[in-house]
Amino acid sequence: MTSFRDHLKDLAESDDLLTVSEPIHWNEEAATIAAEALRNNCAALRFESTPGTVRLASGVYAGPDQISSRNHRPRARIGEALELGREHDYVGLLDALSKRKRRPLDQVSFVDPAATVNVSDDLHSLGLPTVDTNGRQAVTLGMIAVERDGRTSWAPVHGEIHRRSRLRLTVPQRFVDWSDGERSASIMLGLSAASLIAALQGWILDRTTPAVPELAAGLGNVPLADVDGRVVPADAEVRIDGRIDVGDKADGPSAIWERACETTSIAVRTDNIVTRSSPIIPFVPLSAPLTDDLHLTSLVKSAELYRRINSYWGISPASWVQLPVENRLGVCLVSSEILYSGFEWQLPTHCSHSPASSIKC
């Protein structure tokens, strides 16, 4: 399984990672540079000198647009992160994700968590970037873990630091309904692609499932750890343990995955902050084009539509289903056999739960 920091090494070896060695501040500067890099189809970025405990990276799961003259394919970074290879066929990537294989946790390696270095209990000390103009340090590409009745589930989160020991977060509504009032939680940053994709598959699609750790293990053999009874990815770069409370909505733009499901707001009061040694985390400049969360959400939704269409009739008429990231989930493109007269007009019905506004065959 490729951890986040191993993924950065792979990007560097593929000549698809630029290191920014000049001092860059987390307050607006990092997000501005990251947005400009995405806008110009640049390689992924690693910021080596920013104030705070963590170092920052951007564009690590993103990619150039499909009309770019660069040699890298738009989904090469995700394919590499899932150990499928940079040249992995797009349909093969959809097929792998659409199967949603689960691996029982008794078949998964449990190890000590890598995030064990205690840092200040002040969230601001991490040095998370501001990603919009509201001036608050942001949580992007994050995940929450909650344990209920002996089962742990993970869900995507986006939010901001509000005071030194409090986070305002947006989470899928159905995840909060499932957790049923459980208060203890862990917020994790610096995660593998398998963990992030599994969290999206678990809670933003029509068919939800709390078995997210099992999905992640099925995707990438993610090593797991037990933290106060919660199952968490052992390779997380940062882990923030705390208690869930009623929260106000976070300010600023939304993450792309929030468009795909009903969401709600929570607050997390921090009890403990631990990191790996020299932690590094990815972030998303939310107002920028072609961001990591856009690529991940588009791929997850495409894989689900691919599965739904090919499973409904018991055959596999669809060659591919794509939500082009350039259109910000505004159009769905389907390549399929025409099984009978009028078949193409049924496709929009099966894609109607996606954020797509139209179907092109």
Where along the chain do its domains lie?
4-99, 105-283, 297-360
Instruction: Give the pair of three-digit tokens for residue 3.
Output: 């951890």
pLDDT averaged over the chain? Answer: 88
Question: Does the pLDDT of residue 32 top 90, yes or no?
Answer: yes
Reported confidence tier of residue 121, pLDDT bands at 50, 70, 90? confident
Alpha-helical runs (H) found in the chain: 4-13, 29-39, 76-81, 90-98, 173-179, 193-203, 212-220, 292-312, 343-350
Please name which of 349, 347, 301, 298 lies closest in space to residue 324, comparing C-alpha atoms. 298
Residue 143's beta-bridge partner residues?
156, 188
Residue the block writes with tokens 């993924």: 7
Please name which of 334, 298, 331 lies closest in space to residue 316, comparing C-alpha atoms. 334
Instruction: Give the pair of three-digit tokens for residue 268.
Output: 């997390």
Q: What is the pLDDT of residue 71?
A: 57
Please name which of 182, 193, 292 lies closest in space to residue 233, comparing C-alpha atoms. 193
Q: Which range scores top for mean pLDDT: 22-36, 244-258, 285-299?
A: 22-36
The burial of 23, by beta-carbon neighbours within 10 Å (0-12 exposed, 13-18 middle, 19 or more buried), is given as: exposed
Residue type, 270: T
Superfamily of domain 105-283: Electron Transport, Fmn-binding Protein; Chain A (2.30.110.10)
Instruction: Give the pair of three-digit tokens for residue 57.
Output: 């990276």
Instruction: Give the pair of three-digit tokens for residue 189.
Output: 């940053």
Q: What is the pLDDT of residue 87?
A: 67
Task: Report helix, strand or coil for 5.
Answer: helix
Reported confidence tier of residue 361, pLDDT bands at 50, 70, 90? very low
Reported as a single tens digit per residue, the pLDDT across 193-206 is 999 999 999 999 98
Starting from the edge strand earliest in sequence, which strands make up the sheet with 318-322, in order? Answer: 318-322, 332-336, 359-360
For 123, list phi and psi in degrees, rounded to 5: -60, -30
**CB within 8 A of 345, min separation 6: which ones?**
none
Residue 39's beta-bridge partner residues?
none
Q: Pick 343 or 264 by higher pLDDT.
A: 264
Q: What is the mean pLDDT of residues 2-8?
A: 93
Question: Does the pLDDT of residue 142 top 90, yes or no?
Answer: yes
Reported confidence tier of residue 72, pLDDT bands at 50, 70, 90? low
Other CB atoms within 10 Å distance of the CB of residue 92:
12
Residue type, 200: L
Reported confidence tier of residue 99, pLDDT bands at 50, 70, 90? confident
Write down the pTM of the prediction.
0.92
Reported as a single tens digit per residue, the pLDDT across 165-196 is 999 999 999 999 999 989 999 999 999 999 99
DSSP string for 209-258 = -S-HHHHHHHHH---EEEETTEEEETT-SEEEEEEEEE-PPPPSPPPGGG
Q: What is the pLDDT of residue 331?
A: 81
Please name which of 116, 82, 97 lies closest in space to residue 221, comparing C-alpha atoms. 82
